[in-house]
Structure 1
Amino acid sequence: MIKNCFIAGIFALLHSGITLGQVQNEVAKSLATKDFVAFKQLTDSLSNPQERIKGYWEFLRDLTSEFQEGIFLFQKTVPDRDNPNVSSVFSFKVKIITSNTRIAFYELSEEKHLKLDGENHWVTVDDPIDRFKDEQLFDSLKNAFKVLFHADLNEKDLFSEHFAYGERCGFAGTFPDGRYEVTQFVKSGNKEALVQWLQSANTEKQVYAVDGLYQLHAKGVKLTKEELQMIAFVMNKKGSIYACQGCMYGRDTIKEAVSAFHF
C-alpha cells in the first residue's frame, strides 16, 4: 500500500508543473527506497514532452541470471526567462546494478561540461550527487558471476558506454579498438585471450569474444564444455550493446549481434 501511494504521488507530480529540482529529487527519492520495481515504474513514466522532460534507458542488460546493470538518463529543458527561444538542458545519469527486485548499487550524477585549461576543448564529466552500495547483495553478484564465468568480476568493466562492437566504423571505415584486438587474437590462435574477454563484465567485450571464438572454432579449435556454457549464456543475454557499422553508431540487441554465430 505504501509503495502504491508513493508511485501515485510520483505520477501526480510528473503531470503537473515541474521544476528541475523536483525531477531530480523524485528520482533520488525513488532510488533511496532500494526498490527496483518502483524505480523502473518511475522511469517508465518519467518522460513528459509538455514539461520538457525526457528519460530513457541507455541500456539495461544481464550480468548474470539474477543481476542486471543499466544506465538511465534523464533531461530537463529549461527555457530562458528573458528569451523563450533559448533553453538550457540539464542532464542526469543513473548507473545501477540490480537484482529483479532490489538495487545493489546506484550512482546518481549530473553531466557537467568542463573546458580544459589552455585549450578550446570541452569534456563531459559525471558530477556525483548520490551513491549507494549494498555490500552483501553486491557480494552475491560477485559469487554468481564467478560461478557462471569462472573468474572474478572486475568492477572497472561495468557501465561501458564508449567501447563499440563493430567491423568497419567511422568515416574512414577503420577497425574499432576491440575489433583490432580480436583480429590479432584470431590470427595468432590466442584462445586464452579470447576466453579472458568472455569472462569480462563488459558485455561488448564478451560479444567480441564470442565472435573470435566462433572464428577459431570454425578453424577446428576445440572448446571446452565450460567455455561453450559461457558462450551460450552471453548469446542469450537480454539487453543491448554499443555497436557501430560504417558511420552509424547506436545500440543493437545482444541477440542480434550474435545471431550469425552457431557453435
Structure 2
Amino acid sequence: MKDTLFISQVTNAYNTSTKNLFEILEVDDDELEKLGYDYYLRTGSNGKGYISFEYKILYFKNEIIAYELLVNIPSESRKTKNLYKEKLSKLFDINDNFKVKPIKLGIEKAFKSLKSKMDIPIEIEKIMSPFIGITYGGYCGFAGRLLPNREVFNKVVNASNCQFLLYSINPASRIMAIEYFYCNRSSFNSAQIIEIEKRIIEIEKQVPLTRTCSGCMYGKDLTKEIVKKLKKCE
C-alpha cells in the first residue's frame, strides 16, 4: 500500500513539474557536490515501502539542468513483480524481464564541454557526464571492483580524445585525462603539451579537492597533490 501510494504521488508530480517531482522525493540542496565551474551534483534516494526512487541531479549555479531517475523492482514473486510493473509503467518503460529504463532529462547538458564550440567525440560522451560517477580511483570498495567510470574510461581514452576530457563537467574524468597525459606524454606534440599543462593549472585552482577512492577508503584529496603524483605516472 505504501509503495502504491508513493508511486502514484511520484507519477503525478513528474507529470506536473520538475519542482513538484523533487519536492515529493524530498530533495534538498544541502549536500551538493561541487564539480567546479559552477556545476554541482546531488545524488540520493527516497522510498516508502519496498522500493526506492534513486536520483542524480545536475545543477548549473542554482538551476537544475539535467537529471536521471531510476527505480528497481524488488526480487519478489512474478505476481508481485507484475503488480509493481503495472504501477510503475505509468512512469517508466519496463521490459518483460522487469528491467526498468531510467528517465533521463536534459542529459545532453551533462556531457557537454566546458569549452564552447567544442565538438565532443561520441565515444567519450558517457565519461564526460558526472552521472557515471565522480570518484577518481581504480579498484575500490570491500569487493575491490573497478569503478564504473574507470572501466569506461579505460575502454575509450586515447591520445586523440584525451584532451577533450580536460573540459569535462565530470571532475574525475578530468583527473583521469591528466593521468593519461602524463603516462603517455610522448603521444602529444609540443603545442598540445603546452596547452594541456596550462589547462591542468586551471583545473587545480578551480577544484582544490577531488573525490577519491583507494582500497576500501573513500574520501577527498588535494587535487594539486594528486597531479603531483601523476606527473611521475604513479
CA contact (8 A) 2:56 2:131 kept: no
CA contact (8 A) 1:93 1:110 kept: yes
Q: Does 1:28 align with 2:10?
A: no
Q: Return the match for 1:70 from 20, 23, 41.
A: 41
Q: Return the match for 2:177 from 209, 218, 227.
A: 209
Q: Please, what TM-score do these two structures have when normalized by structure 2?
A: 0.52
Q: Which has the larger radius of gyration?
A: 1
Deviation at 1:207, TM superposition (A): 0.9
Residue 69 of structure 2 corresponds to: 109
CA contact (8 A) 2:134 2:211 kept: yes
Residue 218 and residue 161 in structure 1: after superposition, are their counterparts in 2 closer, same or farther (change >3 A)? same
- Partner amino acid for 1:152? D
Q: Does 1:236 align with 2:205?
A: yes
Q: Please, what TM-score do these two structures have when normalized by structure 1?
A: 0.48
Q: Does 1:260 align with 2:229?
A: yes
Residue 105 and residue 75 in structure 1: after superposition, are their counterparts in 2 closer, same or farther (change >3 A)? same
Residue 227 of structure 1 corresponds to: 196
Deviation at 1:61, TM superposition (A): 1.0
Q: Does 1:97 align with 2:64?
A: no
Residue 208 and residue 178 in structure 1: after superposition, are their counterparts in 2 closer, same or farther (change >3 A)? farther
- Which one has the bigger strand percentage? 1
Identity percentage of aligned residues: 12
Supply the distance in 2 between the matched residues of 1:152 and 1:211 (Cα, whole angstroms): 22
Q: Deviation string for 1:44-91 (max 9, x for gaps)? A: 2xxxxxxxxxxx55x4412xx3x3142332424x3xxxxxxxx53533
Residue 216 and residue 159 in structure 1: after superposition, are their counterparts in 2 closer, same or farther (change >3 A)? closer
Supply the distance in 2 between the matched residues of 1:123 and 1:250 (Cα, whole angstroms): 30
Q: Deviation string for 1:148-185 (max 9, x for gaps)? A: xx733576432333586424557578795367569xx8
**Map of 1:60-209 to 2, 5 A cutoff?**
60-62=34-36, 65=37, 67-76=38-47, 78=48, 87-98=49-60, 100-101=61-62, 103=63, 105-107=65-67, 109-113=69-73, 125-127=101-103, 131=105, 145-147=114-116, 151-152=118-119, 156=126, 157-162=128-133, 165-169=136-140, 171=143, 176-177=150-151, 180=154, 191-209=159-177
Residue 29 of structure 2 corresponds to: 43
- Partner amino acid for 1:159? P
Deviation at 1:191, TM superposition (A): 4.4
Q: Deviation string for 1:177-206 (max 9, x for gaps)? A: 367569xx8xxxx64443243344443222
Deviation at 1:232, TM superposition (A): 1.9
Gaps of 5+ in 2: 76-93
Supply the distance in 2 between the matched residues of 1:107 and 1:126 (Cα, whole angstroms): 10
Deviation at 1:93, TM superposition (A): 1.2
Residue 61 and residue 88 in structure 1: after superposition, are their counterparts in 2 closer, same or farther (change >3 A)? same
Number of equivalenced pairs: 192
Please report the RMSD computed on the Cα atoms of aligned residues, expressed in angstroms. 5.2
